[in-house]
Amino acid sequence: MKKLIFLFSISLLALTSCTDVITETVTYKINEPIFMSTETFRNSVKVSAVPQAITSIGKMCFYNNYLYISEPGKGIHIINNVDPTNPQVIGFIELLGNADLAIRNNRLYADSYIDLVWFDITNPGQPELQGRLDSIFPTALPITGNNYGIDYTKSYGGTNQGIIVGWKLTEKTEDVNHYTGGWLKGGVMYDGLVMTATPSTNASSTGLNGSMSRFTIYNDRLYSVINNGLNIFDLTGDTPQKAAGNLYIGWNVETIFSYKTNLFFGTSTGLLIYSVADPLNPVYQSCITHAYACDPVVVDNDLAYVTLHSGSICDVSANENSLIIINVKDVKNPTQLVTYNLTNPKGLGIDNGKLFLCDDGLKIFQLDTPQTLMAHQLVHYKGMDGYDVIPSNNILMMIATDGLYQYDYSDLNNIKQISKIPIGK
């Protein structure tokens, strides 16, 4: 959680015993929004066949032997992975404010701050922008990159200044009222949440997303989570239509995963399960709570695998690093089976009875009974900070802070790294 951080001592000005209101002068730092005109923002999309270096890690989607990697806030890198021993970066989609993506039937759907845009990727090396739904994610904001709150009034003050594309850290001094533990003035934003108020099963061709994704496709519907809300888009027509949206799911939803007729939401405080038997009317089934930490989840064979990791934007003060395995055969009554203490686990994936886990590098397990998982570790590659994985057809794609690593696991007795594309400046 972002916290308001005071720089100097607080000076008491007044105390009224009958109301218990304290007026105080505080000096603090806060992020003020940087705006870009709406026209400039929406005309900034560019597609280039000139490869660009990948400088920071983001979300991944694998489709028809091509890998699409989001570089947070900047756009999407296109990688020809027909030969995973020699992957080639072949292009870049410049897309301001991008964080997530999903692919279905040669269409790539991506967020661009408050908008949803989509591209025709029939020719992967030459994506064509097809359309945009304006202001469909109204609460989406750029990441601040620091531990200070945002200026709520300037960010949502109702003035038509354009699109918020960044932040300027500013120092302020003002009088505030403090009453029974709560600030009565000086609105603060926490990671895009207003605290002063509040793999597909269909027959279509759908991309594989990593476990950190906030986009998933199920039965011709695109489901996206931003902050507390779920948006649902109908993809059956030529133009995606918002079929339902702004459905409150839970506090600080971070990831989404579809399995059978259910959606599994990873939040900073627990795993939420919703039925989408009626795709446009998600129905709450149950929740498994856990310590405050980031929470990606994957599900296979009626078992949910949840990793908790600390030292991130979820809560830099948390110290929970573990893998939780949950029986979700009865989604109304999930049962936590076992918890393993780990180093700093992040993304994870499952393929053909194998669990791939980013923790102190990369760990690969042969899935057995949950209580004996640690005894069936196949390999442990160290020396990199893994973020997320996509396993497919005996090839594991892992994005880490220093590169895109690929491994051949066709022979479990000889799992080996076959390529690496460097990431970073």
pLDDT in tens, 125-134: 999 999 999 9
CA atoms within 13 A on the CB side of 221: 22
Q: Tell me if 205 is assigned to some domain.
A: yes
Q: In this structure, are 292 and 381 located in the same domain?
A: no
Q: Tell me if 129 is assigned to some domain.
A: no
CA–CA dist 65, 84 (Å, integer): 9
Residue 229 corresponds to which tokens in the numbers above? Answer: 């809300």
Place of tokens 């695109």: 222
- As a whole number, mean pLDDT of residues 83-104 equals 97
Q: In this structure, are 217 and 176 located in the same domain?
A: no
Q: In this structure, are 214 and 241 located in the same domain?
A: yes
Name residues whose C-beta falls within 8 Å of residue 184's C-beta, 6 or more positions apart in sequence: 21, 176, 177, 178
Q: 194 or 351: whose pLDDT is higher?
A: 351
Place of tokens 């393929």: 351
Q: In this structure, are 230 and 266 located in the same domain?
A: yes
Q: In this structure, are 150 and 205 located in the same domain?
A: no
* Helix (H) or strand (E) run with residue 109 in it: strand 107-112
Helix (H, G, I), strand (E, B) or coil at 363: strand
CA–CA dist 350, 255 (Å, integer): 16
The candidate with the shortest Cα–Cα distance to 7, out of 144, 181, 174, is: 174
- As a whole number, mean pLDDT of residues 308-332 equals 79
**Contact status, residue 70 vs residue 62, Cβ threshold 8 Å:** no
- As a whole number, mean pLDDT of residues 264-270 equals 87
Q: What angle do CA 269, 4, 385 make, to 5 degrees?
A: 50
What would the 3-class secondary structure string for 163-218 be? EEEEEEEEEEEEEEEEECCEECCCCEEECCEECCCCCCCCCCCECEECCCCCEEEE
pLDDT in tens, 146-174: 889 999 888 877 667 899 999 999 998 88
Quick one: pLDDT at residue 160? 77
Q: Is the pLDDT of residue 3 over 70?
A: no
**Contact status, residue 23 vs residue 38, Cβ threshold 8 Å:** no
CATH number reported for the structural domain that contains residue 423 in this entry: 2.40.10
Quick one: pLDDT at residue 56? 93
Residue 64 corresponds to which tokens in the numbers above? Answer: 């028809």
pTM of this prediction?
Answer: 0.86
Q: Is the pLDDT of residue 10 over 50?
A: no
Q: What's the domain range around 270?
A: 199-324
Helix (H, G, I), strand (E, B) or coil at 149: coil
Helix (H, G, I), strand (E, B) or coil at 372: helix
Q: Tell me if 127 is assigned to some domain.
A: no
Q: In this structure, are 215 and 355 located in the same domain?
A: no
**Contact status, residue 398 vs residue 410, Cβ threshold 8 Å:** no
CA–CA dist 59, 399 (Å, integer): 9
The candidate with the shortest Cα–Cα distance to 117, out of 185, 43, 206, 212, is: 43
State what percent of residues in the chain have pLDDT above 90.
69
β-pairing, 221-226 with 208-209? unpaired
- Calculated CA dihedral for residues 268, 269, 274, 279, nearest 10 degrees: -20
The candidate with the shortest Cα–Cα distance to 412, out of 379, 386, 374, 389, is: 379
Q: Is the pLDDT of residue 397 over 80?
A: yes
Q: In this structure, are 353 and 312 located in the same domain?
A: no
Q: In this structure, are 231 and 319 located in the same domain?
A: yes
- Least confident window among 95-104, 176-185, 268-277: 176-185
187: confidence class by pLDDT, cuts 50, 70, 90: very low
Q: In this structure, are 265 and 392 located in the same domain?
A: no
CA–CA dist 160, 163 (Å, integer): 9
Q: In this structure, are 147 and 230 located in the same domain?
A: no
Q: Tell me if 52 is assigned to some domain.
A: no
Q: How many domains does the chain have?
A: 3
